[in-house]
Each structure stands twice: as structure tokens, then as C-alpha cells.
Structure 1
Amino acid sequence: MPNFLKISQLQCQYDEKTVLNDLNFTLDKGELAALLGPSGCGKSTLLRAIAGFEKIQNGQIEVNQTLLSSPSVSIPPEKRKIGMVFQDYALFPHLTIEQNIAYGLDKQQAKSPNKRIEKLLDLIDLSQHRTRYPHELSGGQQQRVALARALAPEPELILFDEPFSNLDADLRTRLGGEVRQILKDLNTSAILVTHDQSEAFAMADKIGVIQQGKVIQTGSANQLYHQPKSKFVAQFIGKGSFISGKAVNESTIETSLGQL
């Protein structure tokens, strides 16, 4: 079965600076992925390239076996069936919750939006607040509205760019679980960019670690923590200590603690 999202040999640069270089990543239908890495490693640029906000210099991006981006092809963002949830929510202050969600519908869907909006309001548990305005809601409620607006056009993929960073730790944990359940109920694929490892571990089925513009390892939280493939991943994900050693043969290392 082909991957739902397939990114191959992706290269993206700003002026002369290469931000993403030979990056490869895949995602299955209904799978939730998180991207982890230090600041400036290219996480947000990757999201922007998938969404169609950035042109790529090499490689390609495919969703559901449709080519979205290559050096010679660039499908406009509004035609990609991709939703995006930002860090600052970006809700319209002069529109009610119901109107904010309806804004995410295209012209065809907007002809009879009531059923879709009702379903989304129920899904985010805010039906009773439909006539309120964003400033009348808590940060967690505003984030749920932003998610519902992104879900309204029934996108094939949703991208989250550090969506919970403005929330306190307890709310972040609870809301992360709620968002994961909503996406799983809808079988919607998603990619989350975050600096919070515990958030990534709790939400994602698969985690990709990015270093200097490349995905250097992917796997479950358990795999990354217990089976890191490089010193960088071990340092970034785990809490281990490093000791020097000398290879005795292919399977044994001599250390100050004895042979391992």
C-alpha cells in the first residue's frame, strides 16, 4: 500500500542558504506524526513547503499519490486539501465561533454548511458557545475552534505549527489528547511541529527527528528513546550519559566500566 504522504529528496532554500537538504519522510493515512529538532533545523520550513507556501529547489512532495510540489510543479495552497493550525490561532475577532468555523468552508460547502458546522461544534464540545466571540473563550477553547475551522473543508492532511506553545503545561497535555482523539475519530492524517518532546510522545504515532535540514531518524517514542541511531538523537531525545570506548571486535567495546 503506497504512503499517503511521500516526501523525497526535498531541498528548500532561502536565497543562497539551504534549509532542507535531501529530506525524506513518509506518512500513512490516518497517522499522526511529530517533527522534533532544535531551533533553525527546518521544521517549520518543511510544513510551509508541504502547505505550498514555499517553493522547492529539488525533490518532490506527494499526497494521496498526487504530485503537489517539484521544481517544475507547484499546486496552489488553496487547492492542496491541506489544513493548517497556527501557534496564534488566527481567529477573526469580529466573527462568532460558528462564523469562524464556517469561514473555513469553500463556496460549494458553504451553500449548506449547517450540518458540517453542527458536527464540528459537537466534536470540539463547544455547541453551547457557538454565538460567542473568540475573546470570550479560554486559550484551549480558541485552539479547538482553530482546529474545527481547519477541519471544516474536510482536508486530507492537517499541519500543526507549535499549536499549544501558548498554553500552560496541564492544558497543553489535556488538549493534546483531545486533538489526537478528534483526528483519530475522523481518520485524518496530521503532522505536528513542536519543541515539547512529551507533547510529541503523547500525540504522535511516529516521530521524525530533524538535524540540519534532514530527517535523521523516524520511529515511535519508544524506538527513538531506547534505540537511537546516532549520538545526536540520543542526546536530543534521551537522558543518558556518554563514555569513551575502544572497539575490541565487531561486537565488543572496551570501556572504563569493562567490556560491553
Structure 2
Amino acid sequence: MEKVKKRYFIEIAYHGMAYHGWQIQNNAVSVQEMLNKALHTLLRDPEMETIGAGRTDTGVHAKELYAHFDAAAEGILLDPAKFIHAINGLLPYDIAVKRLIPVSADAHARFDATKRSYEYHVHFQKDPFLHNYSMYSRDKPALEKMNAAAKFLLGKQDFSCFSKSNTQVFTNNCTITRAEWVEDKDGRYIFHISADRFLRNMVRAIVGTLLEIGIKNKDIHFMEEVIASKSRCKAGTSVPAQGLYLTEVAYPYICK
């Protein structure tokens, strides 16, 4: 008799420097590949596949990302604490499982997400301990000016100007609900952005455009012009991946 399978969400965090993003690649190591291999070993199911909440690019980090998989509700899956301990023992040091959550059979890690949030970190004093965790800038941008420009990002708009070309999406419309720079106690700047969805490379292109406004003294309405143009050539250069963190993926049925 075939075993009845149940759907599970798994919450993970990872340092992205060693990986070519979340999604499985033909010629490179990805976070999804490492997670799938660990699940295959632990649950003795070599055919199991995970579906993630979205893809992160090469070198991008995640403080919170969800994926789902289907497996027979038996053995170690009946004890979430034991499952987490066991799978973390199989994963490399830079990937960690935080939670295992049984969900309904039609729950979907990608399509059910209602909000995604990112942070981008910038520091201004050379610090070897922040290398691969934050972007180093010799110039300190005008914080208030960047926040004034960031207000043009809010709401539902076509953000083609911040997307990589030749992406397979049906629409470039996204609804941004937060776009704000904050200075922390150490004088570093952190950009917070939340939306219902993001396009490929979108956050890094937005940050690059805002830094042009804050450092190169462009008018805040430059952001408005970039969005209206729908042209990637008009926007700023994408900032390096190491400063970017996926920090939250929200679902209506998962409590934090």
C-alpha cells in the first residue's frame, strides 16, 4: 500500500556567499540542492523535491526563507525537534533549518506568500569582519534625501526599470509597502523594503539608484523618472550581493 504523504513547510536561513543562489543550477552549487540532498538522506526518499518561496541570486543571504515538500507523516517527521537536530547535522555550516511546520495539502511556499522583505546593509568604515556581510562605501550618502526619493517607490507600479532583462514573468507590477533607510547604532545604513513580490535583481538595482541620489547629488525626482522610463539602462548600477538579506516571507496561516 502506498504511504499517504503530508505537506510540510521548512524554514531555513543561510549565508549565501558559497552558493549560486537558492534555485538548483546545472553547473553550480545551490542552497536548494544542499537542502534536497539532506532531505533525501534523512527521509530515505531520493525523489523528493522542495519548492521555495522564491529565488535569491548568487551571494545573497537569507535570514528567513520557506520551502515546502511532501513526505509520509511518520518517523522523525512526527518529532519536529528531532527532525531539526538531525537535518542540521547533515547540512553545511552556512545553512540552518529553523522550523518544520505541517500544513494543508494545497499550501504553497511560493504562491501563498503575501509579503517578502529584504534588507541591504552598507558600512562606511573599513572593517574586515563585515566583508561578505555588508557593502563598504567610502562615501556616506545623504540619508534624508534617499528616504525622500524612496517614497516614489511605494504603491503598485511597473518596476521594469529595476529588473534583469529576459526574465520569464507575466508582469513587472509589484506593490511596495515599505522602502526606508535606517541608521543603526554603529553608524551603518540599512535599507528596508517590503513588497508582495520582487523581480530579479530588483532590490540591488533600487539600492544602486538610491545611492546615486544620495552620493552623486541627483535630484530626488530622478527616482520618479527612472520608474516612468521602464528602462533598466536609466536606473543605477546594481550593488554587490553580499549586503543583501531576505529577512521575511509572510503567509496568512503561519505564525511568527
TM-score, length basis structure 1:
0.23
| Larger relative helix fraction | 1
TM-score, length basis structure 2:
0.24
Q: Considering only CA atoms, is the larger Rg found in Structure 1 or Structure 2? A: 1
